[in-house]
């Protein structure tokens, strides 16, 4: 617990010192992510674990779904797996989420030194700048056979490198040393994984809902919103229409309601999206912890998604935050 807490703190510090706005710390558990971070147009949804193997299917899926709806990149920061310590400078992947060490994150953010290698079954590999390799070979009149001998691979492999095939680290280093040129393509760990995120549209998580929560989500669907329940977030669902995503919290009448509302407001501010907190009673409050309050009776009267958007906009004007 202490080691993970320290690791979360380190990641928050690295992001803050490199210009990211970072959401507040969470005390509500369980939680599928540890922080949301934004810098300009880049938004990250981050989970921090000592052991990457602790990221289970359910949490990984929610990370990907959150990233899809928030137009963000899901990322796991970890130090090891059951197989051993993770290496700095290497990009890993686990359950469809990119994994990197705090050291790799620090080098990328603070030293402008992105990872070069990525882990794949069979070992560590790199992407080559295939056009540069192809041009260097042509300019220097080097044969496929010569470069194959230098790299310790077949002539066919060199052809495939020039067409974009990955290479082992050893072969890439031999080629760079011989050519006296940088041909390894750095990896941007923040690039959205579009091919993975888009798959989540048809794979929404199942969740056991309380009676009031289920009623709220059904009302939102009935007026034309797409609603995806979340399992381990400070909000209960992602409510979406084409122009916006609303982080939707539902009052539970328990001691953690205020904390969830606070976290909801923090995530909304960093993600630059909308939020609301739905209560099962009449109240004069227009917001809780900075998030607009919507009464059940107000949802029941909705006939159009735009009515809700206008209501939230009006109540945001009264937001004390």
Q: What is the pLDDT of residue 315?
A: 86
Does 206 have pLDDT greater than 70? no
Q: What is the pLDDT of residue 195?
A: 53
Picking from 295, 294, 286, 296, the residue whose alpha carbon sits closest to that of residue 319 is: 286
Q: What is the pLDDT of residue 203?
A: 45
pLDDT tens track for 3-30: 888 999 999 999 999 999 999 987 777 7
pLDDT tens track for 136-167: 999 999 999 999 999 999 999 999 999 999 99
Confidence of residue 317 (pLDDT cuts 50, 70, 90): low
Does 114 have pLDDT greater than 60? yes
Does 197 have pLDDT greater than 90? no
Q: Which residue in this structure is represented by tokens 């590999």? A: 125
Instruction: Please answer whether residues 191 and 73 qualify as being in contact, where contact means their C-beta atoms are separated by less than 8 angstroms.
Output: yes
Does 193 have pLDDT greater than 80? no
Structural domains of the chain, with CATH? 2-115+189-196 (3.40.1350.10), 124-185 (1.10.260.40), 210-316 (3.40.1350.10)
pLDDT tens track for 28-63: 777 889 999 999 999 999 999 999 999 999 999 999
Q: What is the pLDDT of residue 47?
A: 96
Mean pLDDT over residues 202-231, rounded? 80
pLDDT tens track for 57-111: 999 999 999 999 999 999 999 999 999 999 999 999 999 999 999 999 999 999 9
Confidence of residue 196 (pLDDT cuts 50, 70, 90): very low
- Distance, in Å, from the CA atom of 167 to the CA atom of 247, rounded to the nearest integer, reads 43
Q: What is the pLDDT of residue 318?
A: 61
Q: What is the pLDDT of residue 27?
A: 74
Q: CA-CA distances (angstroms) from residue 74 to 34, 100, 178, 270?
A: 11, 12, 38, 15
Q: What is the pLDDT of residue 148?
A: 96
Q: Is the peptide bond before 30 cis (omega within 30 degrees of 0)?
A: yes
- Distance, in Å, from the CA atom of 262 to the CA atom of 231, rounded to the nearest integer, reads 18
Confidence of residue 208 (pLDDT cuts 50, 70, 90): low
pLDDT tens track for 222-278: 999 999 999 888 899 999 987 789 999 998 877 778 888 888 999 999 999 999 999
Write down the pTM of the prediction: 0.88
pLDDT tens track for 116-134: 999 998 899 999 999 999 9
- Distance, in Å, from the CA atom of 246 to the CA atom of 75, rounded to the nearest integer, reads 22
């Amino acid at each position: 617990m202490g080691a993970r807490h320290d690791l979360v703190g380190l990641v928050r510090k690295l992001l803050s010192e490199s210009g990211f706005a970072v959401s507040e710390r969470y005390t509500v558990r369980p939680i599928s992510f540890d922080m949301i971070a934004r810098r300009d147009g880049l938004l990250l949804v981050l989970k921090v674990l000592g052991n990457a193997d602790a990221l289970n299917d359910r949490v990984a899926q929610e990370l990907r779904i959150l990233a899809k709806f928030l137009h963000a990149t899901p990322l796991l920061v970890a130090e090891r797996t059951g197989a051993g310590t993770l290496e700095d400078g290497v990009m890993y992947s686990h359950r469809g989420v990119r994994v990197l060490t705090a050291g790799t994150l620090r080098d990328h953010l603070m030293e402008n030194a992105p990872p070069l290698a990525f882990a794949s079954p069979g070992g560590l590999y790199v992407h080559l700048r295939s056009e540069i390799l192809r041009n260097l070979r042509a300019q220097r009149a080097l044969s496929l056979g010569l470069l194959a001998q230098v790299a310790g691979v077949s002539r066919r492999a060199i052809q495939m490198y020039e067409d974009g095939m990955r290479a082992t680290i050893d072969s890439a280093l031999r080629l760079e040393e011989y050519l006296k040129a940088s041909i390894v393509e750095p990896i941007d760990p923040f690039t959205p994984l579009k091919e993975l995120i888009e798959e989540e549209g048809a794979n929404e998580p199942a969740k056991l809902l309380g009676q009031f929560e289920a009623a709220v989500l059904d009302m939102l669907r009935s007026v034309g919103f797409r609603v995806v329940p979340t399992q381990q977030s400070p909000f209960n669902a992602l409510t979406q229409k084409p122009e916006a995503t609303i982080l939707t919290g539902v009052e539970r009448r328990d001691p953690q309601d205020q904390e969830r509302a606070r976290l909801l407001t923090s995530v909304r501010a960093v993600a630059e999206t909308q939020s609301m907190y739905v209560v099962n009673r009449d109240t004069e409050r227009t917001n809780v912890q900075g998030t607009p309050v919507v009464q059940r009776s107000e949802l029941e009267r909705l006939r159009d998604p735009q009515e809700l958007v206008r209501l939230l906009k009006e109540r945001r004007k009264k937001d004390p935050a």
